[in-house]
Structure 1
């Protein structure tokens, strides 16, 4: 129902993906495979780091932060998406929709914050290796991690708080998932404040992460250039390349999602960009960081070697 009257129903209908029947179950099983893969890989990394005392180091706390964030962000999105793919009609309560949007936006915000901390960690490790243990202590990393999550939760709480105060005159979510923009589009009230804060939130998040990562990588590049140390350059290339590639993937898929919200003629592309923003980094993070971190890689090889010998 569209109009100026308040919409009282607590049940919303999701638009979902516009796919033909023959692709319904292939898409369902593809998303299930992706979800199970990221569950196994991320939980595996977390359990390994917790169990192995030699991995109780600041750098691995950041890995755990990233994996926990990936698990939360995808668990609130993918199971619901799989349910909606095979369901007709696609119904969700307003409270569930707000919860999904809150967790999803927190995932996006925390991803940027954690990757900023990881960039700083790489800068200290490469440019100040002798001082690394005194600068990046466990207490420092825990404090930075709590600050990252706290900032994300605060920013997203204000973002969604401004939206839930609005009355609703529509009941259809013009999307395959719930996010802030889809929720405030349910209202016929003036949403100027929502748009202004949403713009502030986006600019603050992207500019702080892009600026911080650009500065740290520029300083790493300068150090590598001036010292002309082959071992240092190899270390920098190995540890920074994966971080930068994953950040750029997350950055551009996030940009694409935000931009496409302003162009309603491409709804399917916007939905796909948002899904990729969640699942691509979440699947690549544990693989790339595990393979490029010697201590973690050695532990994984040891575990698989023992299993093969006992089988």
Structure 2
């Protein structure tokens, strides 16, 4: 953080508040039932993702490059839900809405890392499906454990670096106006808009991050499935096409659950009432980690067979 400040000059001081106030769900009737629903989703997410991780560790037939990415997705979902939901419940259910400045930036850092890694993990899984279906004879050579570990590791390094830049730029901002954040967590966009000095670097980052973390992964995933569809239409029989589609079902459901709600929310953001927008965004953060393990257990034959062997 000091690197960003020293680059601006030693004589520059920043007005940093002692705390921020998070007021995302204020004025919503019967909101207590929504908090109970969030808690239920959190418990299901924790149990489901832990189960997937344990099954992958115990089942020898699941120790393949594909399930390295599946294990990482379960870990990210578990870590992300645990970073977000308990703190949200603590803030709103127990009315601890005053969050210290440094704690707020730390909260944002871990939430952004997990939300970003979910999208990039889907990219790794889509590449696995692309090679497995279009280049089946070269799959063992192209998709190895070393390659998948390197790919997942590079995603982690990239996401941590980008998030550090985004959070670090916030430390350049002075807050001499309001300290009220109208969101369900320490939202980057809400915070930099509260600044009373030049927030242009943070504004630029706020436009670049969705492109790099959301839209480019989505474009790549769509490209892989267009390529898969085109390849199958040329060389495969109907039965082979159906078999290939079944192997992609779980991944397609994960992609739909993650991207569709976010796209709808951001597309209709100006037309949605603020409280409804906050609830929609909070659900898009919690639903994918809850449903991902259920989808993989129910839709993936290898995991279902492994569960039968284990129990």
Give TM-score, length-normalised by structure 2.
0.88
Alignment correspondent of 1:96: 103
Cα contact 2:28–2:275 (8 A) shared by 1: no
What CA deviation, in whole Å up to 9, does each residue of 1:30-84 have, x standing for no partner? 2111100000000111111112222211111111111111112111110011112
Selected match of 2:251 from 240, 243, 262: 243
Report which structure shows greater RCO (CA 8 Å, sep ≥6): 2
Cα pair distance change 1:89/1:134, threshold 3 Å: closer
Selected match of 1:208 from 187, 196, 216: 216
Partners of 2:93 and 2:206 in 1: CA distance: 32
Cα pair distance change 1:8/1:204, threshold 3 Å: closer
Cα contact 1:100–1:179 (8 A) shared by 2: no
Aligned length: 298
Selected match of 1:199 from 195, 199, 207: 207
The question of 1:143 aligning with 2:150 is answered: yes
Cα pair distance change 1:54/1:183, threshold 3 Å: same
Moved over 3 A (4+): 5-9, 255-261
Alignment correspondent of 2:130: 123
Give TM-score, length-normalised by structure 1.
0.88
Cα contact 2:65–2:145 (8 A) shared by 1: yes
**Displacement after TM superposition at 1:180 (Å):** 0.8
What CA deviation, in whole Å up to 9, does each residue of 1:220-258 have, x standing for no partner? 001110123233212322132332232233223333554
The question of 1:26 aligning with 2:55 is answered: no
What CA deviation, in whole Å up to 9, does each residue of 1:4-32 have, x standing for no partner? x97554222110313557x2442232211
Cα contact 2:14–2:172 (8 A) shared by 1: no
Cα pair distance change 1:112/1:88, threshold 3 Å: closer
Alignment correspondent of 2:10: none
Unaligned runs of 5+ in 1: 307-311
Alignment correspondent of 1:14: 22
Alignment correspondent of 2:7: none
User: 5 Å matches for 1:1-311?
Assistant: 8-19=16-27, 23-88=30-95, 90-169=97-176, 170-258=178-266, 263=270, 266-303=273-310, 306=311
Cα pair distance change 1:265/1:112, threshold 3 Å: closer
Partners of 1:9 and 1:131 in 2: CA distance: 57
Cα contact 2:17–2:175 (8 A) shared by 1: no
Partners of 2:68 and 2:124 in 1: CA distance: 11
Cα contact 1:76–1:100 (8 A) shared by 2: yes
